[in-house]
Structure 1
Amino acid sequence: MTQQGVRWTADQVLALAPDAASRKAGSELGTAGCWSGTGSSDDGAVWGLCGGGAGTPYRTVVDVADASGPAYGCSCPSRKLPCAHALGLLLRAGDVSAVPRGEAPVWAQEWISGRRKRARGTEAGAGASSGSVSGAGDPAARRRAERRAERITAGVTELEQRLGDLLRDGLAGAEQAGYGLWEETAARMVDAQAPGLAARARELGAVPSSGPGWPVRLLEECALLHLLDRGWLRRERLPDPLAATVRSRVGLPAAPDGPPVRDRWLVLAQYDTADARLTTRRLWLYGAESDRTVLVLSYGAGGRAPEPALPVGLTVEAEVSAYPGAETGRRRVALGKRFAPPAPTGVRPPGVTTSGAAVRYGEALRDDPWLESVPVTLERVVPVPDGDSWQLADADADSALPLAPAAHGRPGLWRLVALAGGAPVTVFGECGHRGFTPLTAWPSGPGPAVPLC
């Protein structure tokens, strides 16, 4: 995959895959001998025909010249974006002999020119509408917000009563009730238009089956939920940043209100989590000039992959705008205009010690008691076994961070161990009360970022 003569690595290409199945299929197509008529242009397009069986070969083309991100076209029936054929073509583009420079065929030229024309029209339309008057002062919108706040307050009051009943009757009743009790509670919170409370109530149903020590964990989660309830009921007395965090945790939507910050953003990590309803994509970025680590959240419903998808280890020159609230220290942002396609870089985020990471998480909890983790880069750490688990030990100090339980057994752990080879490495990840979850690593010497998730 090329842009101005630069070729992306296989890891960077596969980071664009919408799911594991696409990643596997794309990897296979990247080495298969089913391609013909492949080629690439100097301005960032690559094309090819992928045959298979007795049918007409699929026409696949990818354009990476636009700063808004890669665009994909394929005649296959897949609804995934990018499809496995696009991924396979991008992987083949890493081999100059397999995808030489040349003039695009007519069908590829038509798709590329049409796509770029539409992109210019979209940008012009966005610029023309940027001066439109906001409806924030709309009386009808204000009345709707007030009615929703009243419904949330009623839901919070009911939730407090249910938590009180649980504690009076004893936690053993939660184990006997199973998921039913909390699913009903979550449904009531959905009716109250408080999806954040519904998600937390639903999570309580899984605690009694989580193994030894579950009563302690259930009590902790109930205490945090009670704290959130009280925060909502007394939100008018809270400092503005904390009140915004409470509204966000309850589930009220918010728009980014911070001024746009333009920077060269290093893509630190990208990963998806999914449930039956929604796929959530977390994209961590580090600003080379602003020295800020920010989070872009995006969502995909109905099995669709969220956007954007950016390759780990590259930089994107773009604007971001912060969301309100103390949540993650205003780290959540909206990704705005992009000024150039992703490009390779030698930038690495500055790191801290393992003890410094624990301190950073503790300080963040003062602003957001419901915070699960904070983004941290650990410098000069070595992955070492600790009984049946693993930890990251400081190479220059007598301290270590345990890996979170979810990190054990993942292929990324063994990639990290292999990359280190017993030597110190730099690791970016999320540090929380369950431990450290490694997401990306860099070798001690020169070398590209290695995704671990």
Structure 2
Amino acid sequence: MINLSEAYVDSLAHNSAAMKNGKDLFKKKSFTKLCKTEDGKLLFGECKGSGKEPYRCSVDWMTEGQPVFRCSCPSRQFPCKHLLGLMYAYAAETPFETAPIPEDIMGKREKVEKREQKKSEATSKEKPTKRKTSKSALLKKIGAQLEGIAIFEKLLHQIVQSGLGSLDKQMLKMIEDQAKQLGNYYIPGIQTAMRNLIVLLRSDEEQETIYAKASAYLSTLHTLLKKSRGYLQQKLDNPEQAPELDSTIEEWIGHAWQLAELRECGRVQSDRDLMQLSFNSYADEARGEYVDESFWADVESGTVYTTRTYRPFRAAKFIKEEDSYFAIVNAKELMIYPGELNCRIRWEGAVPRPVTEQDFQAVKSKALSSVTEAVKIVKNQIKNPLSDKRPVLLLAYDQLMHSSNGPVLLDGQGKELQLSDLESVEQSTAHMLPMLHQDVLRQQAAVVRFEHDMDNNRLHAQLLSIVTDQGIIRLLY
């Protein structure tokens, strides 16, 4: 029997419009037929549409954690509003008639079973590995990447030699056109890094602020130039060299990791429970994409991971928009991308389950207990120019209080962490602290995002969420 909650169905919707449309169908009683199989693994029904014939829709949990959506409507979104409405009806405990599996769905199930059986027989003979690339093709690609990096170097030298103050609109346009060439050399990550600089130089901030940020970012790009060239040269000399797993150099260059690669590198864990700590969505102008970013805690270990879904501006309406998630994700196979703090993850075969107080207590108990330790961890990461400069930690506190300088987090040893709003987060949370109940201000755990202020050479920290024994209070979602 499948347990469906409204929050879980919300998470399947592509966007808020699809959510609303699905709920409206259910509320307006547009379904003329609602059925389920005896084992509860198949929901199917009929919904009134614009034509004479109703739309026939079904949600099939033949494989746990991987629902199959089917609908006779012409929508390109899956799940469409009819499928969402069907699931909302079930989540609301609307009566569903128990009925046998329809013949057409039975036939589709049989085809899937045969296909999976063939795949299983093939993989049982030989362990699945990543798609192999011939040595000559690999060397050719690395050679092209090194050529692209040479162009990248010329662009950087051109900017530095000209001076930031001389970069007018015409020159920026010329640099942007040259940066487009980097897309032909298999280094999309470096191309995006270059676009980030161009976006910064075109921003509406004061010139002194722009120049300070651009100077710091040029240092990062210079490090990227040296490290990527050295890394690729090593691969050119030794094509069999294993990829770096403790850094994001491959991602900086623009490598798209295959799941089979992650498996071969041992970056896979089985049967992990994940709790979402915070969610945010923002526009990345350099990539030309919306980014849906979540931070998740492994319930057992307390490790904080991140997920990012990218939606190109031009195709955003066709791609599922992520959202805050309130259930526990049981990931049957958790893929962990190379990196340091907050490694990026994705999962295969996820099954939701209701969150319990034991889950909240488990996550809270794994929080760091010392501000000093947290600051040390962050400083060790951000001293590497290519590391994420905005890591997120779970930090226990004895008290949240207000000082003359603003809100402060106080740990059990009396050490203070000043809280404020980060420029990069865009949304304020500091102003919400006076609204919190007194019980939340003592002996809880905070989800905190750090950022280094280069002008003042100090760390800033923004409160994203609070984990208590009974739940999560999200200040950013």
What TM-score bracket applies, with the shorter chain setting the length?
Answer: 0.7 to 0.9
Structure 1 or 2, whichever has the larger Rg, is 2
In 1, distance between residues paired with 2:7 and 2:435?
14
CA distance 1:383–1:67, change in 2 (3 Å): farther
How far did 1:305 drift? 2.2
Does the CA contact (< 8 Å) of 1:354 and 1:394 recur in 2? no
Secondary structure of 2:470's counterpart equals coil
How far does the alpha carbon of each residue in 1:331-379 deviate from its partner, in whole angstroms, 9 at most, with x for none? 234534x3x7322243232323694554433222245634142232344
How far did 1:317 drift? 3.8
Residue number among 287, 294, 298 corresponding to 2:305 in the alignment: 294
Aligned identity (percent) is: 17
CA RMSD, aligned part only? 4.4
1:253-292 mapped onto 2 (5 Å cutoff): 253-254=256-257, 255-256=261-262, 257-259=264-266, 260-268=268-276, 282=293, 284-292=295-303
In 2, distance between residues paired with 1:394 and 1:113?
62
CA distance 1:427–1:176, change in 2 (3 Å): same
Unaligned runs of 5+ in 2: 236-241, 454-459
Correspondence for 1:103: 98
In 2, distance between residues paired with 1:124 and 1:399?
57
CA distance 1:125–1:274, change in 2 (3 Å): farther
How far did 1:202 drift? 1.4
Correspondence for 1:36: 32
User: 123-132 or 58-67: which moved more?
Assistant: 123-132
Residue number among 376, 392, 397 corresponding to 1:375 in the alignment: 392
CA distance 1:237–1:56, change in 2 (3 Å): closer
Correspondence for 2:368: 352
In 1, distance between residues paired with 2:11 and 2:168?
40
How far did 1:85 drift? 2.8
How far did 1:247 drift? 3.4
Counterpart AA for 1:342: P
CA distance 1:146–1:399, change in 2 (3 Å): closer
Secondary structure of 1:373's counterpart equals coil
Does the CA contact (< 8 Å) of 1:181 and 1:205 recur in 2? no
Residue number among 112, 117, 142 corresponding to 1:118 in the alignment: 112
Correspondence for 2:421: 403
How far did 1:380 drift? 5.4
1:138 matched to 2:134? The reply is yes
Correspondence for 2:347: 335
How far did 1:245 drift? 3.0
1:19-418 mapped onto 2 (5 Å cutoff): 19-41=15-37, 42-51=39-48, 55-64=52-61, 66-96=63-93, 99-104=94-99, 107=102, 110-111=104-105, 114-115=108-109, 118=112, 121-122=115-116, 125=119, 128-129=122-123, 131=127, 136=132, 138-167=134-163, 171-174=164-167, 176-177=169-170, 180-208=173-201, 209-212=203-206, 213-235=209-231, 241=244, 245-254=248-257, 255-256=261-262, 257-259=264-266, 260-268=268-276, 282=293, 284-297=295-308, 302-303=315-316, 304-305=318-319, 311-324=325-338, 327-329=339-341, 331-333=343-345, 335-336=347-348, 338=349, 341-346=351-356, 347-348=359-360, 349=363, 350-352=366-368, 355=371, 357-366=374-383, 369-379=386-396, 393-394=409-410, 398-405=416-423, 407=425
Secondary structure of 2:272's counterpart equals strand
CA distance 1:217–1:309, change in 2 (3 Å): closer
CA distance 1:448–1:234, change in 2 (3 Å): closer
How far did 1:227 drift? 1.6
How far does the alpha carbon of each residue in 1:33-87 deviate from its partner, in whole angstroms, 9 at most, with x for none? 3333224454333333333556543333223452343332222222122223323
In 1, distance between residues paired with 2:169 and 2:403?
35
Secondary structure of 2:85's counterpart equals helix
How far does the alpha carbon of each residue in 1:171-224 deviate from its partner, in whole angstroms, 9 at most, with x for none? 233354486245224203223332112112212222242423222112222221
Does the CA contact (< 8 Å) of 2:12 and 2:79 recur in 1? yes
In 2, distance between residues paired with 1:79 and 1:16?
15
Give the TM-score normalised by structure 2.
0.73
Give the TM-score normalised by structure 1.
0.76
How far did 1:250 drift? 2.0
How far did 1:125 drift? 0.8
Counterpart AA for 1:102: E
How far does the alpha carbon of each residue in 1:374-419 deviate from its partner, in whole angstroms, 9 at most, with x for none? 23234459888999x9967458654343233465558xx6998799
In 1, distance between residues paired with 2:67 and 2:114?
15
How far did 1:249 drift? 0.6
In 2, distance between residues paired with 1:423 and 1:206?
44
Correspondence for 2:238: none
User: 346-355 or 11-20: which moved more?
Assistant: 346-355
Secondary structure of 1:148's counterpart equals helix
Q: How many residues align?
A: 435
Secondary structure of 1:360's counterpart equals helix
In 1, distance between residues paired with 2:55 and 2:473?
33
Counterpart AA for 1:58: Y
CA distance 1:36–1:193, change in 2 (3 Å): same
In 2, distance between residues paired with 1:329 and 1:265?
19
